[in-house]
Amino acid sequence: MGCKKKEDDLIPSKIKAQYQLPQGNHDYDPTLVELNKKYGSFFLYKFSPVDFAANPVYVSGGFNEIYLADIADEAYVGKVLTFVQKNWLNYYPDAFLKANLPFKVLLGQNLRLKSTPTTTYMVLSNYNQMTLSNFSASFDAMTDAQKKTYVNNLHTEFFNSIYNRGKLDVPADFLTVTNYTQTGVLPTNMYLYGILSYIIMYQDNRPTKDFMSYISAITSKTKAELDASILSPSNDVNGLVKKKYNIIINYYKTKYNIDLQAIGNAGVIN
């Protein structure tokens, strides 16, 4: 030991960044750079099949074995990005976005089912990425109703991506309202148990999927629409739907300063 030659000091090697921003010299590129600086997420309008297909090693097959997407039409990135910011990102505090946005947000077009290309999607998520479609001339062809559906998909898939990464925050009180071992739940009686979709009672991970069904309903419907449907005393006879609704609304307002119902109440902002 005494005569061992002194080792040279270790110098860390330089690791090349996985993605380089900006991806071009458009007027919207600085916005994408700023989004990356604020949230650590890469908003990419140029992406490879590998970016789209990324899958955890323990899941067989790739995302692109089921779905396909083309990269964005660069002439439309700025326009659709502004729409996405107004109707999605602006509803969440910076801290929540920084903690929960996926590593990549792919800005594409023609998001479709590989086996049936005529089956298209507006937004899909896959573990470390969300893919947003219609960054193309198809955006201009969308009706107001289709744009509203697009916005609904943005919020629902955002929470779905959070769930896929094991980071979904479900209020503990929410989990105590419904007996998830209950049998005999049908479309005709599901509201009695505080269930919005009876199908989840025949699936795995029922509590989380139940929570996700509430997020989808809240962020896609106005309060007036909910009062006339799932929250109506004639449907919600036992008051369990309203109880779970209030738990979610109050929890996310208090802990994250997020008004989920404001998302549902809002019209499309062009």
60: confidence class by pLDDT, cuts 50, 70, 90:
low
> What confidence score (pLDDT) does residue 15 get?
41
222: confidence class by pLDDT, cuts 50, 70, 90:
very high
Q: Are 132 and 84 in contact (CB under 8 A)?
A: yes
d(CA 155, CA 259): 13
> What confidence score (pLDDT) does residue 211 get?
97
- What DSSP element (H or E) covers 71? strand 67-71
Domain parsing of the chain, residue ranges: 29-164, 172-265
Q: 228-236 long-range contacts, Cβ below 8 Å, gap at least 24?
A: 230/191, 230/196, 235/191, 236/191
Beta bridge partner(s), residue 112: 68, 120
> What confidence score (pLDDT) does residue 27 get?
97
> What confidence score (pLDDT) does residue 5 get?
47
pLDDT tens per residue across span 114-146: 999 999 999 999 888 999 999 999 999 999 999
- What is the pLDDT of the chain when averaged over all its residues? 91
> Considering the entire predicted model, what is its pTM?
0.89
Residue 195: closest CA among 261, 246, 241: 241
CATH fold label, 29-164: Collagenase (Catalytic Domain) (3.40.390)
Residue 35, pLDDT above cutoff 80: yes
Q: What is the 3-state secondary structure (H, E, C) of 140-173?
A: CCCCHHHHHHHHHHHHHHHHHHHHHCCCCCCCHH
Q: Can you tell me the mean pLDDT for 48-54?
A: 83
Give the ranges where the chain is alpha helix by DSSP (H). 29-39, 49-53, 77-87, 94-100, 144-164, 206-220, 223-227, 240-256, 260-265
Q: Can you tell me the mean pLDDT for 241-261?
A: 98
